Amino acid sequence: MPDETLEAYRARYRAIEGRLEAGLADADRAKVKADIVGLFKAVEAQIAELTTFKDEIRTLVDKWKAQQAAEGSSAPEFSGERPVVHADHIGASTFIEKGWSRLSLGDHEGAEQALLKAIELSPGDPQSEALLGWAQMLQAKYDDALMNFQKVLIREPTNALARINVGYICLKKRIFGEAIEHLSKAIRLDNDRKATLYAHFYLGLVYLEREMYEDAQTFFQKTLALGPNLIEAHFELGRAHWFNGETEEAKRAWAAGFAANKFNPWGKRCAETLKLVEGGGEPPRTL
C-alpha cells in the first residue's frame, strides 16, 4: 500500500495549484501535466488498495458476529438489502448509504447516528426509518426502534421484516399479545422467506415464555422444517420438551442440534446443555 497520507497528497495538489495560478512557461507545461497525471494515478492506486482492504475487514466482522452468536443472542441478524438511493442536493442519500454500511459491519451506534442525520435532512423517509429501527433494536433501544418500525408499517403494511422486528421487540418487552398478532400476520403474508422463518421461531419463543410448551414445540418444529440450518431452534425445542417433562425428547433435540452443525455456536450450546442435564443439571429457564 502506498505510504503517502491524505495530507501528503493535498500538499502535492497545493504545489501544482500554486504553479498553475502563477502561470506556466511553455517549458513547464508538459512537466505540470505529468505531475497532475501522476497525482491522479497515485490516488487512484491507493483507493484500489484501500477498497480491497475494506473488503478484507469484513472477515473480521463475520468472526465478531460468530462470537456474538456464541453468547446466545436471539436477536435477528441485520439482513436489509442495500438501499436504493438517488443523489440529492441535501445529502441525505450519503447518510442512508453510510447507515446501511455501518449496520452491515455491526457498528449499530455509528449506523444510528448516520441515519438520524439522514432523517434530519429528509424527514419521513421510509428507508431511513426502517434502517434506524434495525440500528436501535440491535442496541436494545426497544422503545425507539418500535416507534420507527411502526412508522414503516403505517406506510408499508406488508413489510414482513419490519413486522417480525416489531414482534421480536414485543417479545423482549413481554407484550405477548401484540407479539403474537404481528408474527402471525407475517406468517399469513408469507412474502419474505426469512421473515416467515423467524416469525415461526419467535412465536415459539413467545409460547415458551408463556409456558405453553406444546404450542412452542409446534412452532420450533415448523421453524426447522422451513430452515434446518437455524440451529438455535433445536436448542429451544429441547428446552420446550424439557420444561414440559419430556426429558428424553429434549435430549434428542439437543443431540440433533449438535449433529446438525457441531461448529455452530448454538450446536456447541446444544452439546453443552446435553452434557449438563446428563450430569444432573438443569437447562436455563430464561436466556
My answer on whether 40 and 90 are in the same domain is no
Residue 57 sits in the same domain as residue 91: no
For residue 251, tell me if it sits in a domain. yes
Q: How many residues would you count in the chain? A: 287
Both 221 and 286 in one domain: the answer is yes
Last residue of a domain, one of 92, 126, 156: 156
10-residue block means of pLDDT along the chain (287 residues)?
Answer: 73 89 82 87 83 70 54 55 50 85 86 93 87 92 95 93 94 96 96 93 96 97 96 96 97 97 92 96 86
Residue 66 and residue 83 share a domain:
no
* CATH number reported for the structural domain that contains residue 96 in this entry: 1.25.40.10
Q: In this predicted model, what pLDDT tens digit does every residue of 229-284 receive, in sequence order?
A: 999 999 999 999 999 999 999 999 999 999 999 998 999 999 999 999 999 999 98
Rounded (10°) angle between helices 213-226 and 231-242: 160
Which residue, 115, 136, 156, sits at the end of a domain?
Answer: 156
Residues 60 and 108 in one domain: no
234, part of any domain: yes
Q: What is the pLDDT of residue 18?
A: 87
Gap between the Cα atoms of 69 and 230, Å rounded: 12
Q: What is the 3-state secondary structure (H, E, C) of 233-246?
A: HHHHHHHHHHCCCC
**Full domain range(s) for residue 19:** 1-70
C-alpha of 246 from chain center: 35
177 is a domain residue: no
The pLDDT value recorded for residue 248 is 97
In a domain, 119, yes or no: yes
What are the cell numbers at 286? 430464561
Q: Are residues 114 and 151 in the same domain?
A: yes
Full 3-state SS string of the chain: CCCCCHHHHHHHHHHHHHHHHHCCCHHHHHHHHHHHHHHHHHHHHHHHHHHHHHHHHHHHHHHHHHHHHHCCCCCCCCCCCCCCCCCCCCCHHHHHHHHHHHHHCCCHHHHHHHHHHHHHHCCCCHHHHHHHHHHHHCCCCHHHHHHHHHHHHHHCCCCHHHHHHHHHHHHHCCCHHHHHHHHHHHHHHCCCHHHHHHHHHHHHHHHHHCCCHHHHHHHHHHHHHHCCCCHHHHHHHHHHHHCCCCHHHHHHHHHHHHHHCCCCHHHHHHHHHHHHHHCCCCCCCCC
Q: What percent of the chain has pLDDT over 70?
A: 85
Does 190 fall in a domain? no
Same domain, 16 and 51: yes
User: Is residue 181 domain-resident?
Assistant: no
Number of domains in the chain: 3
* 152-176 residue pLDDT tens: 999 999 999 899 999 999 999 999 9
Residue type, 199: A
Residues 83 and 39 in one domain: no
Q: How far is CA 223 from the centre of its chain?
A: 20
**Are residues 220 and 283 located together in one domain of the fold?**
yes
Give the C-alpha separation, 63 to 57, whole Å. Answer: 10
Same domain, 55 and 109: no
Residues 60 and 110 in one domain: no
Please indicate, yes or no, whether the overall pTM of this predicted structure exceeds 0.95: no
Distance CA 148, CA 146 (A): 5
- Does residue 163 fall inside a structural domain? no
62 and 85 housed in the same domain: no
Q: How many CB atoms lie within 10 A of CB 198?
A: 27
The enclosing domain of 252 has a CATH number of 1.25.40
> 75 in the Ramachandran plot: left (φ > 0), alpha (ψ -120 to 50) or beta?
beta
Choosing from 28, 46, 70, the residue where a domain stops is 70
